[in-house]
């Protein structure tokens, strides 16, 4: 704990120094990477991580049932999602919604990148943060839904394809769209406004 | 199990780093395709252009190479104005002027306008000596008060009399047939509204050290790959991104129509003009094109230091963001980033830069998620190998593009495919700095190297006069 606090103080001091001196590249790298690592190490194994995992599993469960794919969640294992596999009479199989599936890493990374991105006003930054995090969460649920559908109809053999290739690919494409609207479009707008003012 | 976990890191987490690779890979494949399949399309387009002028394509040279001569010889030699914007260019100006003096294009059909905006060195003496030694060449000197390259170029354009206007940087030298080749393209291709020459980096006479030697080889290969082979692909799809500030040419009426020329709104006046011109010329002639004439070759000096490279790339990236911002209507809607070349370039250079930044540093920390360091290191090595393979594609495209002397040079630097991923990775950080500067600093923020930047940042940021970097890409 003391080590974490020490690292946080050093990080904050260094980031503030670089920000004040307008060393934009080192500032942005130190601020975003440091923030992400500090939040992840603080959240790892805590109730926050478990809560996000169980909420993600719960929402994936609700959505998949809405699409007619039977899934189950046990109260004693809230992050574990049971999926009915209908191929080869396998029966129920389990998806463990861990840190990889919860989207925690991606959301923290996104938040860090936006939080320390220079040139955005507070209101615009806050709005983009809310929209971006919400969109990342929804996209992650969609990714889980894809994995569940693959597992349900394709069986356990397709789990690698579903998890690492298709699910990740779809997640990636949609998240890049979010990054485009949050970072690139916002930057274009801010730069255009400034150039037109001068 | 080890393999599965490695592939998992490689594909699942490494995707943020792999996608820039995929973008490069698509570019490399597009370049290769444009060399082979694109040749037919290009010759068809050339034949259609020539039909309009009553000439025919020179038969025989089927392979599309940088020096192919497909057009017939010029029958007339219209007046050409060469404009050289100068700001403290005494060290390089003579070389530029000498390269113009030995052009195969007739001297009496050329005028050279040197526009000086506030030089404090001996460049006028250099000009005067050249003028004295070349009495048969029309060379004039115009000093202007207003700072900035854009103002200098505009002053030159308004003083010009040529049917064609060429803009040449004061630190660039032209191949002896560059003007002839450029004008030949315009004369036989009525659709061509503006064009950029092919820019190559010259090898320095003496390298200061091994590091700079490798850096210069990387830069030369990058110029060949991106600015010669790459621009030819952009020409093929009529979406040239930049009319290089180093060497560009314009049909006079296309440039002066609407009478807004270069402007200082962005730090990339050449890219801005390209975007403006593309929008404008299509009103005049819907099938008008802006292309790279790869037979018109210009030679640029290699970058003098890593700090200068940082400064240059920061300015390019900042310019890209500013120019695209002013033309952001092109990127409107959901398909905006994919519809246009500028959108796709911005997506690769800007949007993907953010996740790439964070995952470059997060990947080594995946042991926090239970991955062993061996797995992470293996995945990183696999990524490097993938990047090398993409460089091999770029190398092959470049090799098939150039003619024999350059092929021999490429053969001698085959090892470059191992170094280029590291060079591009370094460039990525320089460009990221440009992305941040574009939103964080005032428009005329000085794009000085890091050490100067530190000095400039001390009291407060003042809009200092932008460093005149006349090298173009």
Would you say A113 and B435 are in contact if contact means Cβ atoms under 8 Å apart? Answer: no
In a domain, B124, yes or no: yes
Measure CA of the first residue to CA of the last residue in chain B; give whole Å.
47
Residue B91's CB is within 10 A of a number of other CB atoms, namely 14
List of residues 6+ apart from B422 with CB closer than 8 A = none
Q: What is the structure's pLDDT at B54?
A: 64
**Closest residue on chain B to A105 (Cα):** B362
Q: Which residues of A touch B321 (CB under 8 A)?
A: 187-188, 191
In a domain, B308, yes or no: yes
In a domain, B267, yes or no: yes
Q: Does A65 touch chain B (CB under 8 A)?
A: no
Q: How many independent structural domains does chain B possess?
A: 1
Q: Does A32 touch chain B (CB under 8 A)?
A: yes
Q: Report how far apart, in Å, the C-alpha atoms of B397 and of each of A52, B21, B228, B233, B244 are.
A: 48, 17, 11, 11, 22
Q: What is the structure's pLDDT at B125?
A: 93
Taking one residue from A and the other from B, the number of pairs with CB-CB distance under 8 angstroms is: 130
Binary contact (A191, B322; C-beta < 8 A): yes
Give dist(CA B323, CA A101) in Å, integer.
39
Q: What is the structure's pLDDT at A1?
A: 80
User: Which residue range is the domain that position B212 belongs to?
Assistant: 65-324
Q: What is the structure's pLDDT at B80?
A: 96
Give dist(CA B252, CA A59) in Å, integer.
63
Residues of chain B scoring pLDDT < 70: 1-2, 5, 8-17, 19-20, 27, 31, 34-39, 52-69, 258-260, 330-337, 443-473
Q: Which residues of B touch A24 (CB under 8 A)?
A: 433, 436-437, 440-441
- State chain A's mean pLDDT as an integer: 87
Q: What is the DSSP letter of B14?
A: T
- Which residues on adjacent β-strands are paired with residue A91? A85
Sequential DSSP letters for A116-144: T-TT--HHHHHHHHHHHHHHHHHHHHHHH
Would you say B103 and B177 are in contact if contact means Cβ atoms under 8 Å apart? Answer: yes
* CATH number of the domain enclosing B138: 3.90.550.10
Q: Report CA A94 to chain centroid distance, whole Å.
A: 22
Q: Which residues of A touch B344 (CB under 8 A)?
A: none
Q: What is the structure's pLDDT at B443?
A: 62
Residues of A numbered 66-105 whose beta carbons fall under 8 angstroms of chain B's beta carbons: which are they? 99-100, 105
Higher pLDDT, residue A74 or B152 = B152
- Which residues on adjacent β-strands are paired with residue B197? B293
Can you tell me the ipTM of this complex?
A: 0.89
In a domain, B259, yes or no: yes
Binary contact (A183, B350; C-beta < 8 A): yes
In a domain, B298, yes or no: yes
Q: Report how far apart, in Å, the C-alpha atoms of B369 and of each of A137, A143, B5, B63, B365 are.
A: 20, 20, 12, 53, 8
pTM of the model: 0.84
Residue B281 to chain A, least CA–CA distance (Å): 23
Q: What is the structure's pLDDT at A103?
A: 86
Q: What would the pLDDT profile of A125-169 be if each residue is shown by its tens digit?
A: 999 999 999 999 999 999 989 988 888 888 877 888 888 888 888
Q: Does A153 touch chain B (CB under 8 A)?
A: no
Residue appearing with tokens 């049909």? B251
In a domain, B59, yes or no: no
């Amino acid at each position: 704990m003391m080590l974490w606090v020490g690292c946080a103080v050093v990080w904050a001091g260094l980031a503030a120094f670089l920000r004040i001196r307008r060393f934009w590249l080192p500032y942005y790298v130190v601020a975003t990477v440091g923030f992400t690592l500090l939040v992840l190490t603080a959240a790892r194994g805590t109730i926050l991580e478990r809560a996000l995992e169980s909420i993600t599993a719960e929402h994936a469960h609700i959505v998949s049932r809405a699409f007619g794919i039977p899934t189950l969640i046990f109260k004693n294992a809230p992050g574990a999602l049971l999926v009915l596999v209908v191929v080869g009479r396998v029966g129920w199989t389990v998806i463990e919604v861990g840190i990889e599936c919860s989207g925690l890493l991606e959301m923290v990374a996104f938040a860090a990148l936006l939080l320390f991105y220079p040139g955005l006003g507070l209101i615009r930054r806050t709005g983009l943060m809310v929209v971006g995090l919400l969109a990342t969460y929804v996209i992650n649920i969609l990714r889980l839904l894809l994995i569940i559908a693959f597992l349900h109809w394709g069986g356990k053999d397709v789990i690698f394809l579903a998890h690492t290739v298709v699910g990740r690919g779809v997640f990636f494409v949609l998240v890049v769209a979010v990054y485009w609207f949050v970072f690139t479009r916002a930057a274009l707008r801010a730069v255009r406004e400034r150039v037109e003012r001068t | 199990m080890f393999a599965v976990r490695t592939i998992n890191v490689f594909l699942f987490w490494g995707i943020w780093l792999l996608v820039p690779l995929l973008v490069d890979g698509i570019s490399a494949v597009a370049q290769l395709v444009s060399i082979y399949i694109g040749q037919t399309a290009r010759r068809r387009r050339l034949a259609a252009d020539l039909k309009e002028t009553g000439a025919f394509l020179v038969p025989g040279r089927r392979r599309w190479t940088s020096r192919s001569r497909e057009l017939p010889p010029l029958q007339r030699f219209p007046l050409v104005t060469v404009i050289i914007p100068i700001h403290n260019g005494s060290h390089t100006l003579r070389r530029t002027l000498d390269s113009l003096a030995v052009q195969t294009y007739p001297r009496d059909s050329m005028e050279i306008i040197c526009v000086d905006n506030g030089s404090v060195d001996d460049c006028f003496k250099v000009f005067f000596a050249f003028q004295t030694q070349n009495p048969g060449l029309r060379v004039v000197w115009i000093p202007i008060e207003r700072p900035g390259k854009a103002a200098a170029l505009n002053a030159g354009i308004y003083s010009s009399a040529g049917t064609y206007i060429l803009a040449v940087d004061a630190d660039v030298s032209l191949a002896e047939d560059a003007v002839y080749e450029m004008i030949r393209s315009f004369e036989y291709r009525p659709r061509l509204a503006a064009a950029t020459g092919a820019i190559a980096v010259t090898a320095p006479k003496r390298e200061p050290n091994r590091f700079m030697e490798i850096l210069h080889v990387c830069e030369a290969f990058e110029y060949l790959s991106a600015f010669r082979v790459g621009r030819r692909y952009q020409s093929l799809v009529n979406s040239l991104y930049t009319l290089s500030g180093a060497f560009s040419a314009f049909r006079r009426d296309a440039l002066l129509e609407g009478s807004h020329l270069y402007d200082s709104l962005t730090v990339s006046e050449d890219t801005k003009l390209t975007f403006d011109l593309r929008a404008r010329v299509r009103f005049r002639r819907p099938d008008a094109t802006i292309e790279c004439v790869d037979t018109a070759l210009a030679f640029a000096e290699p970058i003098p230091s890593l700090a200068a490279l940082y400064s240059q790339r920061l300015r390019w990236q900042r310019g890209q963001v500013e120019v695209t911002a002013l033309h952001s209507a092109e990127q409107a809607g959901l398909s905006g980033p994919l519809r246009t070349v500028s959108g796709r370039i911005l997506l690769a250079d800007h949007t993907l830069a953010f996740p790439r930044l964070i995952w470059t540093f997060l990947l080594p920390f995946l042991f926090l998620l239970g991955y062993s360091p061996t797995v992470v290191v293996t995945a990183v090595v696999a990524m490097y190998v993938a990047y090398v393979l993409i460089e091999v594609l770029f190398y092959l495209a470049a090799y098939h593009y150039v003619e024999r002397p350059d092929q021999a040079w490429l053969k001698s630097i085959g090892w470059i495919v191992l170094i280029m991923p590291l060079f591009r990775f370094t460039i990525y950080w320089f460009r990221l700095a440009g992305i941040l500067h574009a939103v964080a600093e005032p428009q005329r923020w000085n794009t000085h190297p890091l050490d100067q930047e530190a000095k400039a940042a001390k009291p407060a940021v003042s809009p200092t006069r932008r460093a005149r970097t006349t090298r173009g890409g």
